[in-house]
Amino acid sequence: MYATSPRQRWPQLLQRTFDVNILECPKCKGRLRLIEPVVETGAARHILERLGLPVDAPRLVRARAPTTLDDDEPDAA
């Protein structure tokens, strides 16, 4: 599937990549529309609290060291 224009909209990319229609209401299956982006931290926190979602970022953990595969190394015997 090739794009008809050099740029595609995010909803189309998410639909194609993850098979998720972000513009569809999960309850009534109607079409959602963007009203206004939330840019203020206080407003975002208030909305998340009202929805019962976590308001703090998850704790960061250190990355693991990469593992090596034994098949890539020659036998020592």
Report pLDDT digits (tens) over 15-30.
999 999 999 998 999 9
| Residue 34 pLDDT | 85
User: How confident is residue 6, by pLDDT bands cut at 50, 70 and 90?
Assistant: confident
* Tally of structural domains, the chain: 1
Residue 74 in domain: no
Q: Is residue 21 part of a domain?
A: yes
pLDDT given for residue 3 in this prediction: 58
Torsion sign (Cα): 43, 47, 52, 58? negative
CA–CA dist 17, 70 (Å, integer)? 34
Whether 17 is covered by a domain: the verdict is yes
**Could you tell me the pTM of the whole model?**
0.46
How distant, in Å, are the alpha carbons of 3, 24, 48, 61, 72 from that of 27? 30, 9, 19, 36, 51
Domain that holds residue 27: 1-35
Residue 65 lies in a domain: no
Cβ–Cβ under 8 Å, residues 64 and 71: no
Q: How do residues 54-69 score in pLDDT, each as one tens digit? A: 999 889 999 888 877 6
Read off the tokens for 48. 């998340």
> Is 63 a member of any domain?
no
